[in-house]
Amino acid sequence: MPSLSVAIVACNEAENIGRTLASVAWADEINLVDSGSTDATLEIAQGYGASIFTEPWKGYGAQVNSALDKCTGDWILNLDADEWLSPELAEEIRALLSGPPRYRAYWAPRLNQIFGRWMRHGGLYPDRKLRLFRRGCARLREDTEPHATPKTSEKTGRLKHPIFHRQYPTVDYYIEHMQRYSTASVPLVLRKGRTSASLGAFVANTVLNPSLTFIKNYIFRGGFLDGREGLIFHLNHSAYVNWKFAKAWERHRADGGNSAAESSSATRGSGLQ
């Protein structure tokens, strides 16, 4: 049976990390890259036998790639610190690795818990993420948005059972994270040339895009079926889309209109496309 390494990044995840590690305690290796926890995260991780690496935060893509690079197993399971395997998924992965897997990378459905409710509509499920793959065949972009998934050029398969994700337990938690995530997304937005420099592009990105996002997810994709929690989430997610583009426009203006070109040049220089 091939060996399995688990790669996790964390910072102050004491509320979540025990549940995550308990779901993968059967793995051959667990590597946790921590960016400066001041709570009990490291003590809990040590209790599960995880190898701990303390590194400054480099951005989501770079941080996850650092955790992937430390894995020595034949296969890697990449999890966020607030995700854990359902018992059925753990058994499915063990069964898959007990024989020759058909593919070198697998997508897993993810079931998100938001404001205490498991969200099954509005584009929030199955929310597939590339989480299981042969070592070396998947990687994240260095300039990716938070909570992105690794990319691969290999043919991929799909796992049946879900990863559970305690995504946003409270509205305050969600808004605080969206403020940080929208700021972290600015370089990627600018690299794509979404500067909102013209009036038409500004209105499209900051008004039409958020509005259509809400209509698509809440109405056409059934987000209203997730009750009040669904309404609160989709309204605020539309606000997040506005923040992301508004912050990119602000950065582009502050840089005198050169931010998009500089971002593209930095991307080419780093070998990212």
pLDDT digits (tens, 9 = 90+) for 218-228: 999 999 999 99
Residues 250, 165: Cα–Cα separation, whole Å: 33
- What is the DSSP-derived secondary structure letter of residue 162? P
Tell the residue number behind the tokens 């994709």, with chain if given.
221
Contacting residues for 58 by C-beta, under 8 A, at least 6 apart:
66
- What is the DSSP-derived secondary structure letter of residue 144? P
- What is the DSSP-derived secondary structure letter of residue 150? -
Query: What's residue 264's pLDDT?
Result: 45
pTM attached to this predicted model: 0.88
Choices 3.60.40.10, 1.50.10.20, 3.30.70.141, 3.90.550.10: CATH for 4-167: 3.90.550.10
Tell the residue number behind the tokens 């050029």, with chain if given.
153
Q: Which two tokens stand for residue 266?
A: 């930095």
The residues spanned by each domain of the chain are 4-167, 170-269
Query: What's residue 259's pLDDT?
Result: 63
Residues 147-156: pLDDT tens digits? 789 999 999 9
